[in-house]
A and B are shown apart, each in its own frame.
Chain A
Amino acid sequence: MIRAIGFAGLVISLTACSAGTHTPPDGAEQARFAAVCVERFEYGEQACACLSRRAAQRFDAAAYAILIDSMTGEPIRSQMEAAGLNASEQGAVSRFVVETALSCQNET
Chain B
Amino acid sequence: MSDVHVDLVLDPVCPWCWLGHRYWRAAQDLVPEIPVETQLRPFQLDASIPKAGLPYQDYMKKRVGEDSQGRFKAMREHLEAAGPAAGIVFNFDEIAVRPNTMDAHRLIRWAQGQDKGEDAAEAVFKAYFEEQRDIGSSAELTAIADSIGLDATLVSELLATPRDTDTLEREERFYRSLGVAGVPCFIFNGAFAVSGAEAPEVLADAIRKAASLPPEEDA
Contact = CB atoms under 8 A, between A and B. Distances in A.
Contact of B68 (A19, A23, A57): A23
Nearest to B14: A17
B191 interface: yes
A17 B17 contact: yes
Interface in B191-219: 191-198, 206, 216, 218
Given A3-B190, A7-B193, A8-B193, A16 B185 contact: yes
Interface in A1-36: 1-9, 12-19, 21-24
A101 to B, nearest CB: 17
Nearest to B192: A6
Interface of B: 7, 11, 13-17, 19-20, 43, 45-46, 63-65, 68, 71, 75, 78, 178-179, 181-185, 187, 190-198, 206, 216, 218
A22 B218 CA distance: 36
Nearest to A1: B218
B182 A5 contact: no
Given A1-B218, A19-B181, A13 B198 contact: yes
Contacts of B78: 15
Given A8-B193, A21-B64, A16 B218 contact: no
Most B Cβ at <10 Å: residue of A3, A19, A24: A19
B187 to A, nearest CB: 6
A7 B195 contact: yes
Contact of B182 (A1, A18, A21): A18
B196 A14 contact: yes
B182 A23 contact: no
Most A Cβ at <10 Å: residue of B43, B46, B193, B216: B193
A3 B19 CA distance: 28
A17 B195 CA distance: 10
Contacts of A12: 181-182, 195
Contacts of B183: 16-17
A11 to B, nearest CB: 8
B204 to A, nearest CB: 13
A16 B197 contact: yes
Contacts of B178: 2, 4-5
Nearest to B205: A8
Contacts of B206: 8
A42 B147 CA distance: 58
A16 B46 CA distance: 14
A89 to B, nearest CB: 16
Contacts of A14: 75, 196
